[in-house]
Structure 1
């Protein structure tokens, strides 16, 4: 296959690139500066989002388009300017991505656009699946909602479109887990706030496996929850992490302190949602790490 990726040098994109490369596929990565990337076999870097760049002229017979581009939610305190940047970066890259797809000589078979379980808003009681039609009302939910609406425009040019709603992605070196694990490694781990908030997590290997599953199942479209089937409350997540790391779980981080330090961004650690991967399970995806203990043991042992 010939696979086009925006955001191909980021956390998820770099893992996808390595996976597809090992599978023998041709990968094309959209980047502002192609010259700064080292050579990789079967990987081409194509300039985009620069004046006069026309990446579609360097592409043909693209089968799969994956858009992971956008300013990280963890890239700084959520000031009004930062929130505008988070939103606009997703809108600009998605519009350009769809323009490129539309300009290709042949229509791609599938368009996978990143999203997040933040779409659902937060709750300590509700269970969210892809059948949950109403989005939340906080900043993250609003970003995800308008982002998906923008990405859905690809359907108008006949491309099967999927919104991958990522949960908390677990990896030893990248994503949220290193920050979550650090207090435990310093012997100061414990619940965040009241510890009752849900953490809908997924191992990075299952993120890659699920995206590959989506590509090969033409009956999958629309939102897909990329979470493991066993979400955990924060207090239980911490206890499992402490067991795997053989560190104590005892020091509670007060909610007011986290809100003071993080501001509105504290929603990422103090609130959550129970999100179930109904579409993945109903289409036969087999999780490599369905339980948290299995996932953390794989990462730390």
Structure 2
């Protein structure tokens, strides 16, 4: 099998590529950086530039599935310029793939796209499933809705489309976990806002294995990529502190302080999304790190 991956050099993409190669999948990848182009027997890079509409047609040779992970990080401060980059990186890249596939002969029959649980409305009570149609009234909700709308155009080409709505990804190599650890290590750890907001999370091992599972089983539709056991922000903070043997004694950081420091982006820290994993479980997927305790024990092993 040959797969084309976008965003292959990012935190999630690099782990997914490793897993695919280990399982005998040949990987082509698209990158906007010519310095990141490699040409190995089972791993070949091709240049593209979604902003200018440039893409190397050779990237699609013998490819049956596209895994589309590319997108500007949402963790950069939400200035008007960065907001535009966040939107365009997702919309224009997906549009370019659609345009190529619609105008050229190819073997692609499956399209797996990254998405985010940020589309679900902020709520302390509701448990969100893939059937929910309401979109969160926030910048992130707007971004994910536009992103998914663009992905849906691929299905017009008689290609199976799967959308992986991803929660807070926990990894020891980057992302949210390393940022959460910093103040706790310094003895300055504290829950954010009320601390009651749900954080639906997933270990990066389970996330990339979920992509592989969707690929192997030719699944289509929306799937939530979250652990079956979401946790509150306060619970997550306490679990990290316990795992690295650090005390927590400071009061919660008030929402207004977060807003002053981060501006509109503070919403990422105080929004609550309790998201269900039942749909992917019913398909037969099994989590290796279902509980936060198991995940943190793996990612933050105690130093003896």
Q: What TM-score bracket applies, with the shorter chain setting the length?
A: over 0.9
| 1-structure distance, mates of 2:54, 2:191 | 48
| 2-structure distance, mates of 1:54, 1:267 | 35
Cα distance 1:25–1:273, how it changes in 2: closer, same or farther (>3 A)?
A: same
1:238 Cα deviation (Å)?
Answer: 1.1
C-alpha contact (below 8 Å) 1:130/1:278 kept by paired residues: no
1:70 Cα deviation (Å)?
Answer: 1.4
| 1-structure distance, mates of 2:107, 2:135 | 30
1:250 Cα deviation (Å)?
Answer: 2.3
Q: CA RMSD in A?
A: 1.6
Q: Secondary structure at the match of 1:81?
A: helix
1:291 matched to which residue of 2?
Answer: 291
C-alpha contact (below 8 Å) 1:55/1:100 kept by paired residues: no
1:181 Cα deviation (Å)?
Answer: 1.0
**Structure 1 ranges of 4+ moved more than 6 A:** none
Q: Secondary structure at the match of 2:118?
A: helix
| 2-structure distance, mates of 1:287, 1:281 | 9
Number of aligned residues: 299
1:143 matched to which residue of 2?
Answer: 143
C-alpha contact (below 8 Å) 2:5/2:30 kept by paired residues: yes
| 2-structure distance, mates of 1:116, 1:140 | 9
| 2-structure distance, mates of 1:25, 1:34 | 23
| 1-structure distance, mates of 2:165, 2:116 | 4
Tell me the TM-score normalised to structure 1 length: 0.94
| 1-structure distance, mates of 2:288, 2:231 | 17
- Gap regions ≥5 residues in structure 1: none
1:22 Cα deviation (Å)?
Answer: 1.5
1:66 matched to which residue of 2?
Answer: 67
For 1:154-193, list aligned pairs within 5 A.
154-193=154-193
| 2-structure distance, mates of 1:10, 1:179 | 17
| 1-structure distance, mates of 2:38, 2:148 | 32
1:269 matched to which residue of 2?
Answer: 269
1:244 matched to which residue of 2?
Answer: 243
| 2-structure distance, mates of 1:62, 1:120 | 33
1:148 Cα deviation (Å)?
Answer: 0.4
C-alpha contact (below 8 Å) 1:121/1:140 kept by paired residues: no
1:52 Cα deviation (Å)?
Answer: 7.7
More moved, 23-32 vs 57-66:
57-66
1:13 matched to which residue of 2?
Answer: 13
1:39 Cα deviation (Å)?
Answer: 5.5
| 2-structure distance, mates of 1:88, 1:54 | 16
1:125 matched to which residue of 2?
Answer: 125
C-alpha contact (below 8 Å) 2:118/2:140 kept by paired residues: yes
1:235 matched to which residue of 2?
Answer: 234
| 2-structure distance, mates of 1:133, 1:54 | 33
1:41 Cα deviation (Å)?
Answer: 4.9
C-alpha contact (below 8 Å) 2:115/2:166 kept by paired residues: yes
Cα distance per residue 1:32-53 (max 9 Å; x no partner): 2334445555111101117684
Cα distance 1:40–1:188, how it changes in 2: closer, same or farther (>3 A)?
A: farther
Cα distance 1:52–1:150, how it changes in 2: closer, same or farther (>3 A)?
A: closer
1:114 matched to which residue of 2?
Answer: 114
Tell me the TM-score normalised to structure 2 length: 0.93
More moved, 21-30 vs 37-46:
37-46
1:104 Cα deviation (Å)?
Answer: 4.9
More moved, 96-105 vs 133-142:
96-105
| 1-structure distance, mates of 2:74, 2:7 | 14
| 1-structure distance, mates of 2:265, 2:192 | 14
- Gap regions ≥5 residues in structure 2: none
More moved, 106-115 vs 136-145:
106-115
Q: Secondary structure at the match of 1:145?
A: helix
C-alpha contact (below 8 Å) 2:28/2:59 kept by paired residues: no
